[in-house]
Chains A and B, each alone.
Chain A
Amino acid sequence: MSLTPKFLTLTAMSGGAGAGPRGPYMSFITDRNTNLLIRGGLLFSVGVFLALVLNLLQVQRNVTLFPPDVISSIFSSAWWVPPCCGTASAVIGLLYPCIDSRVGEPHRFKREWSSVMRCVAVFVGINHASAKVDFANNVQLSLTLAALSIGLWWTFDRSRRGFALGVAIALLATLTTQLLVYNEFFQYTSPDFLYIRSWLPCIFFAGVITMGNIGRQLALYEHKLLQKTHQD
């Protein structure tokens, strides 16, 4: 905003009484670190929430036993599972836009909240299907889930780096779970393939894509805000 001499004079004479147009709230929001923190917190809570709910679905499938009380069945898994999921989702959600900005321009495909919501719904649906639908054998289950996950990626992401990151993180997560099982932190009721549940990587992949989608949308928000302040 180019200030006219008149305005300058007036403000000078009034002792600079005119405050800037931006309040403390805006500057708080636009501060980069704070923004990062807020985004991380949001992603963490989303991850914890999804972990709790999806765990409940798995509980119904009798992957674990069914205690009578509902509240305790929500927290039936070990206490460290939801925080781990939350942390992981926060990391993934921050990693995706970061890599986007490093590699090139921000991701532009279907950047809308409605699309993100659709993605989350499909993710929950995949979990639901894996928990509720009775498959003939585990190979069928795994194949179906793999197709669904890749369909999820194709519908909502379609970026090559998203796919690569998803696969990498899914493999890493499966490996970690495998190690945990090996060290007997916990165990499955019925491992079906090399001591792991064969559909686990698919679920991890879909989860990574979903969290990445949310993270990108949040980052887009920040991007817009920063742009606006830069213009000022």
Chain B
Amino acid sequence: MTLREQLRAKISAAFYHHGLLCASYPVPIILFTSASILTCCYPLLKLPLPGTGPVEFTTGVRDYSVPSHEPHGDQGERPDWYRGPPVAYIQQVLVKAAVSPWDSSLVPVDVFRSPLGQVFRLLEEIRNHVYSDSSGVRSLESLCLQVTDLFPGLRRMQTVLPEHGCLLVSPGNYWQNQRELFDSDPDLFKTIQKHEPKGLHTSATLRDLLFGVPGKYSGVSHYNKKRVVTYTITVVLLSYDARFLNSLRARLKQLHPSANCSLREDHMVHVHFKEEIGIAELIPLVTTYIILFAYIYFSTRKIDMVRSKWGLALAAVVTVLSSLLMSVGLCTLFGLTPTLNGGEIFPYLVVVIGLENVLVLTKSVVSTPVDLEVKLRIAQGLSNESWSIMKNMATELCIILIGYFTLVPAIQEFCLFAVVGLVSDFFLQMFFFTTVLSIDIRRMELADLNRRLPAEASLPQPKPVPLRTREAPPPPRPSPHTITLQTPAFRNLRLPKRLRVVYFLARTRLAQRIIMAGTVIWIGILVYTDPAGIRAYLAAQVSEQSPLGDPGVSGLSPHLAVAPVFAAGDPTSALNIHPAPDPTPVPENQSQGHHSSGRALPLPPLSHSVPQITWGAEDEEGWRRLSFRHWPSLFSYYNITLAKRYISILPVIPVSVHLSPQEAIETRHPHDTRHRPPLIPKVSADLQTDLTLYKVAALGLAAGVLLVLLLFCLYRVLCPRNYGQNGAAHGRRRRGDLPCDDYGYSPPVSEISPLLLRGHSMDIECLASDGMLLASCCLAGQIRVWDAQTGDCLTVIPKHSSSGCWEQREGLDGLSREPEEEDYFPLRRRASPSRLALFTDQPDLTPLIDTNFTSQPPSHLSTPPKEGFDYGSLVERAYTEHEPPSPSSYPCASSASSSPSSAAQPQRRLSVGDGGGASSQERGSGSGSQAAADWESSVWAMELRGNLIAAGRSSGKLEVGLWDAVEGSLRCRNEDGVSGITALAFLNNRIVAARLNGSLDFFTVEINKPLALLQYRGAPGQGSMPPSPCYTSEDVISCQLTRSVQCAHQKPITVLRAAAGRVVTGSQDHTVRVYRLEDSCCLFTLQGHSGGITAIYIDQTMVLASGGQDGAICLWDVLTGSRVSHVYGHRGDVTSLVCTTSCVISSGLDDLICIWDRSTGIKLYSIQQDMGCGASLGVISESLLVTGGQGCVSFWDLNFGDLLQTVYLGQSSDSQVVRQLLVLDNAAIVCDFGSELSLVYVPSVLEKLD
């Protein structure tokens, strides 16, 4: 044993024990795992939440000094980004200008033309301001942020944004800071609007940048009610010089004092910007996420054969995600703060960790033998895959280790995360996922158990609810193999789970309510977190409404607030102010401004126009009203990024400018008066807002449509109509596919071994059964009769037996077998029993009839058939009255049909009177009575009732032959017909034959009993067919044509069904006819199909369904002949139809099986079949559907459309297709399999008890 093998064995054993542990204590383990996940994720709480919003920090102006790079010991509440100098200092000069008093002679343009004109003078002041002290002369040029070229893509902004100089922006930039251009501009408004972007831009437009206040606050519009124009001059400084700034502030205030200004000027705000993610960066990110989701989707859709697919997929995703969280948490715990962008590396981490292990585990566990205990299944599945899991993990760790040695920091960090993630993922797989899997598998088995009641358990209790009152007399006797039906009341409630969820949502309007509640909460949060906007709005309202109170309140404070600053700055500025105004060429302007303001200040407090300029709290930090992308976008124009850096915003310098009407008129442009009617710009503005409105509306509409589409897709994903169909693509396990799996587990050996009935030489065409016996006919014309329970071949009726000498099989002497008759569960024997040497010298006898006596039907004495079903007492009486019973017949056998207490006994009874002897006596007479038949024709239709086989043959002369099924003797024949028999129905003592020429023949089977021996066997199981008579070999059976309907149909009759006293025929002539069985009277002709009828279903409850070549399925009311529903379901012919109490199951030539709701006619789902197996389907119980496939039989849950199990019929599954499928009453399924028959008992998984 090599080391490798030793290691492998050890790993396998360890995994086995671990699996046992997990499956034994699921709840404690899940609790433990959740606790450890939470513990590991706890450090994540310390991490900042991701977001791109800027962060602020406020310091005082007085004692400001540039923070150092090194973190101080005493950090206080300083954020960790507050280190080093900022990118820039922002000094805003907030100008409020108004023409006062307002004159009625003024035009609307005057509101902003002359106030805007003031900007040039102010700019001049600022530019030329010089402060000199002992340390030297400082001007703006030396302090400001010098910018170079604009970003290359911004050529069109070259005219308005400064280049190669100080970054100083103001509305004057629109006119290149030249007064002449401004004065000669005929339409200011147009100039401003010219640079606005065409699209819907909400943030940081050029107008916002230049004005420094949001567009609607600037007051530059034609319908400005307040007639105050607000704008800022923004100076961006590279270095901070308190003295220079103070002198500038003092100078400006001196020139344009703001009387009622109460702005606080002692705080500067540092704004830190996070790394921003643009759309351009987002696209690759989104792509990786899409790929990630596709990966998860393709991975989880491979999970099958479990109880809850979604649950397990969720568990898998939870496993991966929480392992990621755990890895991040652990790394943070040990001091490794993630510097990588989490959102970007996350998809790759998921891909590296992968979902493969989880899927491999699921597959491995699912493929363990189902009849094992759950614990053992989990343990086995784990240990099977242990080696590959360990190997994969070792490989991945190696690769990551190699990656760690690349010595690139980013890759190293990624590798570290990946290692921790892998280990925690392994931990979670082993503990969390395995446990969830064990719970799931246990649930699946419980569900299987609940779907049917165990036969043994239901026996002792009397049935509380009779299943169907109509068929009360012969209660369905549960044999060991019977699947107990669910009561219809239960059945009706069992919708598919996904549908139930949707119904629940619809009923409670859950989504609507959640959305409503969410909206309310959202609005609440908005109000709660951003009260500033509302407060500002309210303040504006208040200040508007109380013009007298505002200056009164704030009138006291300006002197208080401004004075200290003045006091502080005064000594220096008083010394140094005089150099600055010297070169100014506008002394009269200055004086005028001074004069006007000075005039306005003392005089107009009494007049009405004074409170035009007000200063409120909202002006203090006016930049807050700007978009938070305002500063980043301004800097990005010069290719300076603010990401992960900060800027410092200095307190604003308030400037109030009052202009007289005289000045306003002087600065007018000739065009202004010409374009006097303000309607045109107003209309255009209205038009613009309208356009914007339309755009918003269109976008909203588009978004709504998109949302609806998205929801629809989501709905289709969650609740596809045909989930059975796509389930078949991957849900069905094919033997051929499994070895191709690269995970290397071998498919399980078929859990249920089907019984193969061999003997036919060619493909099987007809198949008939009455529950006990099974007759099959192959293309060669050979009819074989099998015991449906044991699979023994009872009789062979060859095609060419001209002498009528039937090959019979006989096992042992009946008497010698008697002790074995108590054995009710005979061994399953293959169809070719060993011949005894005893009979080899008798050529006629050697082809034995395998008189396995336990399987021979009883032939008790009985009265002739009567109306009604309760034969038990009759049999009892007849039995006691007539012949003394032979020792081999059991008294309890006759009472079996009457008393359910003996139902546990098998219904097969030994034939009376030593069946072996009787058959050997009969042999001679039977053969003598047979006439030579036309054996050239083949059998087209076959029916089996009791022990009589009716076979309809095809060509030339047609005949109905009746054979004794057990003995194989031809009892009677009828050769009246002229046309081939296409379909047969055998009900009670009547045989209905449909012919190719469209005629319908009714035969009556009459039994003349010399000994009056006739016994009825109660039909077991569903009881949908009446009990059929058993004939003894002594009876003389005659078959007479009672009535022939010559022109039942215009075209060949394709399908014939009989039940509940009705005979229903379907023909190529597109019609369905209903006949009464007793008097052959045609009751209805049902028209509605547009093609030939190919399938009909009728049962005891008078449900009639028909399917045609047009792919349509019609449901009819047999009592009135009216059509109940009409649906199109198939491309091509409908080949088979079955109804249950709640649904209709149809199959077509398109190999699709559709399941319809019977009451509403809505298709519930469909199942894709293998090629050529469309017609093979059957219903075992209300909820169990069986379909044939390529070399296999599949069992489906009808309620949910889930595949329960697949049983492979042969070892070589190639090319053999199950074309016919017959469900017997004892829960066995017979299907043809090429030249063989296959007898499958319903899987043991359904009987398994936990």
A interface, CB within 8 angstroms of B: 1-2, 4-6, 9-10, 13-14, 17-21, 23, 49, 53-54, 56-57, 59-60, 65-70, 73-74, 108-114, 116-118, 120-122, 124-125, 128-129, 132-136, 140, 143-144, 147, 151, 228, 231-232
CA distance A116 to B348 in the complex (A): 14
Q: Which of the residues A121, A128, A232 comes within 8 Å of B1171, measured between beta carbons?
A: A232
Residue pair A121, B1109 in contact (C-beta under 8 Å): no
Q: Which of B1039-1098 contact A (CB under 8 A)?
A: 1051-1052, 1054, 1068, 1091-1092
Residue pair B283, A74 in contact (C-beta under 8 Å): yes
Q: Could you give, for residues 1088-1115 of chain B, a 1 whenever the CB lies within 8 Å of some chain A CB and a 0 otherwise?
A: 0001100000000000000001000000
- List 12 A-B pairs, Cβ < 8 Å: A5-B940, A6-B765, A13-B996, A18-B1149, A21-B1174, A49-B287, A59-B280, A108-B740, A112-B298, A114-B295, A114-B356, A140-B408
B503 contacts the other chain (CB 8 A): no
Residue pair A114, B302 in contact (C-beta under 8 Å): yes
B351 contacts the other chain (CB 8 A): yes
Residue pair B938, A114 in contact (C-beta under 8 Å): no
B154 contacts the other chain (CB 8 A): yes
**Closest Cβ–Cβ distance, residue B638 to chain A (whole Å):** 13
- Residues of A near B399 (CB, < 8 A) are 151
B854 contacts the other chain (CB 8 A): no
**Closest Cβ–Cβ distance, residue A1 to chain B (whole Å):** 5
Residue pair B1052, A144 in contact (C-beta under 8 Å): no
Q: Could you give, for residues 277-313 of chain B, a 1 whenever the CB lies within 8 Å of some chain A CB and a 0 otherwise?
A: 0111101100110011011001100100000000000
- Residues of A near B1068 (CB, < 8 A) are 10, 13-14, 17
Residue pair B291, A117 in contact (C-beta under 8 Å): yes
B136 contacts the other chain (CB 8 A): no
Q: Could you give, for residues 467-496 of chain B, a 1 whenever the CB lies within 8 Å of some chain A CB and a 0 otherwise?
A: 000000000000000000000000000000
Q: Which of the residues B281, B354, B410, B1171 comes within 8 Å of A21, measured between beta carbons?
A: B1171
Interface centre among A70, A111, A112, A114 (most CB of B within 10 A): A114
Q: Which of the residues A10, A74, A109 comes within 8 Å of B742, measured between beta carbons?
A: A109
- Residues of B near A110 (CB, < 8 A) are 742
Residue pair B996, A121 in contact (C-beta under 8 Å): no
Residue pair B1215, A231 in contact (C-beta under 8 Å): yes
CA distance A20 to B1151 in the complex (A): 11
Given contacts A121-B288, A121-B291, contact A60 B1149 (CB under 8 A): no
Residue pair A17, B1091 in contact (C-beta under 8 Å): yes
Residue pair A65, B152 in contact (C-beta under 8 Å): yes
- Residues of B near A140 (CB, < 8 A) are 406-408
CA distance A65 to B151 in the complex (A): 10
Name B1150's closest neighbour in chain A (CB-CB): A21
Residue pair B283, A60 in contact (C-beta under 8 Å): no
CA distance A67 to B152 in the complex (A): 7
- Residues of B near A125 (CB, < 8 A) are 288, 347-348, 351
Residue pair B408, A132 in contact (C-beta under 8 Å): no
- Residues of A near B1052 (CB, < 8 A) are 10, 13-14
Interface size of B by CB at 8 A reads: 64
- Residues of A near B153 (CB, < 8 A) are 65-69
CA distance A93 to B1133 in the complex (A): 40
8 nearest A-B pairs in the assembled complex, by CB-CB distance:
A117-B295, A114-B298, A67-B153, A113-B298, A114-B299, A133-B410, A121-B351, A125-B348
Residue pair A6, B982 in contact (C-beta under 8 Å): yes
Q: Which of the residues A56, A108, A232 comes within 8 Å of B284, measured between beta carbons?
A: A56
Name B1109's closest neighbour in chain A (CB-CB): A17
**Closest Cβ–Cβ distance, residue B329 to chain A (whole Å):** 23
Given contacts A6-B954, A128-B344, contact A19 B298 (CB under 8 A): no
Given contacts A5-B954, A10-B1052, A18-B1149, contact A68 B154 (CB under 8 A): yes
Q: Which of the residues A1, A9, A70 comes within 8 Å of B1217, measured between beta carbons?
A: A1
CA distance A143 to B405 in the complex (A): 12
B355 contacts the other chain (CB 8 A): yes
- Chain A interface main SS type: helix
Residue pair B411, A21 in contact (C-beta under 8 Å): no
Kindly list 14 other residue pairs between chains A and B, CB separation below 8 angstroms, not including A1-B1217, A140-B406. Answer: A4-B763, A10-B982, A19-B1132, A68-B154, A70-B278, A70-B283, A73-B280, A108-B742, A114-B302, A121-B348, A125-B351, A129-B411, A133-B408, A228-B1171
Name B997's closest neighbour in chain A (CB-CB): A13
- Residues of A near B408 (CB, < 8 A) are 133-136, 140, 144
CA distance A201 to B407 in the complex (A): 22
Residue pair B280, A70 in contact (C-beta under 8 Å): yes
Given contacts A5-B938, A133-B408, A134-B410, contact A121 B295 (CB under 8 A): yes
B444 contacts the other chain (CB 8 A): no
- Residues of A near B287 (CB, < 8 A) are 49, 53, 124
Residue pair A117, B1091 in contact (C-beta under 8 Å): no
Q: Could you give, for residues 347-379 of chain B, a 1 whenever the CB lies within 8 Å of some chain A CB and a 0 otherwise?
A: 110010011100000000000000000000000
Given contacts A13-B1052, A14-B1051, contact A57 B1132 (CB under 8 A): no
Q: Could you give, for residues 380-411 of chain B, a 1 whenever the CB lies within 8 Å of some chain A CB and a 0 otherwise?
A: 00000000000000000001001100111011
Name B1054's closest neighbour in chain A (CB-CB): A10
**Closest Cβ–Cβ distance, residue A5 to chain B (whole Å):** 6
Residue pair B1132, A21 in contact (C-beta under 8 Å): yes
CA distance A49 to B1109 in the complex (A): 46
Residue pair A118, B278 in contact (C-beta under 8 Å): no
B1172 contacts the other chain (CB 8 A): yes
- Residues of B near A49 (CB, < 8 A) are 287
**Closest Cβ–Cβ distance, residue B1052 to chain A (whole Å):** 5
B1131 contacts the other chain (CB 8 A): yes
CA distance A60 to B407 in the complex (A): 24
B933 contacts the other chain (CB 8 A): no
Residue pair A114, B980 in contact (C-beta under 8 Å): no
**Closest Cβ–Cβ distance, residue B859 to chain A (whole Å):** 34
- Residues of B near A134 (CB, < 8 A) are 408, 410
Given contacts A9-B980, A68-B151, A151-B399, contact A231 B1171 (CB under 8 A): yes
